[in-house]
Structure 1
């Protein structure tokens, strides 16, 4: 008998039971290799045939990649037990929601129904039938995202004892399709009926077969096709009646069910809001979020490393939850000078907060092959890319920290989850932006972008990445970076401390006191009183140091490029190579300093100033 504290497969540490039933016990566990929470179902197959069936069903479920399907990560056999390792969903089952709150509103049920119908449409398109859609197998997060779990797994675990209690009929009698009650195997249309029965129970508070004293009575009513008309469903009544048609051929397919349910309870269309359906019992409010800092369009790497078991091990080591370490390179550790150590929903010390702990390549793999790049662009940034069948990058998920505090007001729709506030921007072309305002008044930007076709909807991809980031923040502060940067790394530098007042005033006519310090002091911007002249300096990374348009130069003995009007009109940008190294995944990587001067002067004068300031900054950088 498994107990809390047991370690399964020398990797999964059992923490506490979070569910149980005739099909097994579900544990919350910690995956020590990948440093994440997982759910583990402990099953006891009756014989080798049942074990093979369970393995096959788990394998089928693992092939499904959809935001509304609980991902299957692993299958472990230990002793006489089989363990199915799944995505941990922070929330409640639909059955628990109805038990705790009573019948839900038609709008809430419609939102859940749209999402689960979409999950079934995806699984049916891939030839996978669930076979046991029920309120127990629908999980709903606190912010209204619905996920379907146990694809085929319950069906594979039906034992003789279970079949005896239900007269030889597999499944939960309260949601049993009539044709399955008569002995026919479950198929796509059976899933649609069980979805209708599940939604009926959520909005009506009972099975569509009414209330009975014994399970066999429900089976008998299913065989007779005895369906009670809905009374509380309101706008959902017509859709539920269609889904619950006794004759399978009269039922809609799952994709048609999505349209029926959406028409009955209209909400945001997929990709236009946080979910495919509407919000679940929460009061929305709005606040004005500052747009992302003026990030420059770094060229995308030409070479990435696809996540493999070995690479994941290295990545897990990199993003491990370690004790908070002190700031690097001296100076203050945080823009505010304060740190709220450990408080849920906070970023904490800027220079040690690890952006890669808020992205999970494995959870995003349900959208396709995932690719991790922990060392690209700004030092407060982490990326996960999706790669298509051709091997080309088809989508990018970028996460950045931002020191600027959010400001209340405005038109960006937001919702509150725990100690953080999530903002959802409207999709613009192939790009979608999500914002997380932390409890210590910093911001986290998640920017998803389509890079090729076919590719997932960028807002659905962004919502999945945001859900994971929020789940980490809900447990505590952003985890710390697992190791100190190299002595020569720009991560140890302080951008705002590279110039004194005389240098900036003499060279560019700006004042050192009039500055905007970026997150971690890895970016700094100075301006003059009127704002028509300024200097911007930023530390960043790339996979090589090349420029198709820049003029080659050597500044302070270092390779550099000079790019007039690159970041804006009436400006000149200098990029200077600081060092080359191999990152934690073995990728060739470079660190570079980018310095831009803007103002009402000739391009020649601006570039002369930019080169002079870059040479002055080079003297105060960490020794490469």
Structure 2
């Protein structure tokens, strides 16, 4: 077993191609239809086949008792790699950040959003090739801000209490109902569905890049992100841990509170070419 949570159980297994990761979701309620989620995962997998810095699930297995999704096993996530010797050099951090932006740009061009970008969902090979993995189209887009258990259940499966979820994905059940009702599938559900946007992924990737360049100092905890959403939390001290001013500016741009001010992944690559990223990339 690699990881267990109330939402999914993650195990390492083997098939004819070698080691794989299997995520198991037990069907607690047989009256709920999982067809649309399975169809969505398979559609995303087919779209991502040509993306070099993203890895979808190889198989989706649906049974009466559970749903299993399978992908290739990689030895290290970015979260583990940051704290493993030999530590990443500055250029390696630049290269990983560049690859993640490139992979995200390619995925967005294909109409695919990730939904749960964090260091645990970034895979890094021994030759420093980075892959966005575990695309989370099956998780809710919007969560109530007054229910931390909902965030922990879906997005904090490792129990770190860090938060890379975009602030616009949290809503106030008392005041935001009318504001976001137009994009909701159901206004009565506590965990609300809607369209993920590229800007949401940009925010999450900005948090990942910040954690990469600050040696595992997360930009936000869950409580800090909610305070940031209200304009009551300043991230300057954490950003100042990033020594390179261009990387610092990139992260600050990506995690702006207003999603309309965040540039696309492709635009970020162009704007910071020769600044945060060498021309050779």
- The TM-score normalised by the length of structure 1 is 0.35
Task: From the two aligned structures, give the one with the greater strand fraction.
Answer: 1
In structure 2, relative to structure 1, the CA distance for the partners of 1:97 and 1:158 (3 Å cut) is farther
Which of 231, 247, 263 is 1:236 aligned to?
247
1:177-576 mapped onto 2 (5 Å cutoff) = 177-182=166-171, 186-204=196-214, 205-209=216-220, 215=222, 217-225=223-231, 226-229=233-236, 230-233=239-242, 234=244, 235-260=246-271, 262-263=273-274, 264-266=276-278, 268-269=280-281
Which of 27, 39, 52 is 1:56 aligned to?
39
Superposed CA RMSD: 3.2
Alignment-derived partner of residue 68 in structure 1 = 53
> Retained in 2: the 8 A contact 1:50–1:156?
no
Deviation at 1:247, TM superposition (A): 0.8
SS at match of 2:224: helix
Structure 1: distance between partners of 2:37 and 2:73: 20
Greater C-alpha Rg:
1
Which of 81, 87, 92 is 1:108 aligned to?
92
SS at match of 1:120: helix
Deviation at 1:267, TM superposition (A): 6.2
Larger RCO: 1 or 2 (CA < 8 Å, sep 6+): 2
Structure 1: distance between partners of 2:26 and 2:83: 28
Alignment-derived partner of residue 164 in structure 2 = 175
In structure 2, relative to structure 1, the CA distance for the partners of 1:164 and 1:92 (3 Å cut) is same
- The TM-score normalised by the length of structure 2 is 0.73
> Retained in 2: the 8 A contact 1:24–1:44?
yes
Which of 15, 32, 41 is 2:23 aligned to?
41
Structure 2: distance between partners of 1:167 and 1:75: 25
Structure 2: distance between partners of 1:170 and 1:26: 14
Task: From the two aligned structures, give the one with the greater helix fraction.
Answer: 2
In structure 2, relative to structure 1, the CA distance for the partners of 1:123 and 1:50 (3 Å cut) is farther
Q: Note the residue ranges of structure 2 that are not aligned, 5 or more in a row.
A: 157-161, 173-179, 181-193
SS at match of 1:72: coil
SS at match of 2:260: helix
Deviation at 1:252, TM superposition (A): 0.9
1:155 aligns with 2:124: no
1:115-126 mapped onto 2 (5 Å cutoff) = 115-126=99-110
Structure 1: distance between partners of 2:121 and 2:88: 17
* Deviations 1:395-426 (CA, angstroms, capped at 9, x unpaired): xxxxxxxxxxxxxxxxxxxxxxxxxxxxxxxx
Structure 2: distance between partners of 1:248 and 1:158: 15
* Deviations 1:488-520 (CA, angstroms, capped at 9, x unpaired): xxxxxxxxxxxxxxxxxxxxxxxxxxxxxxxxx
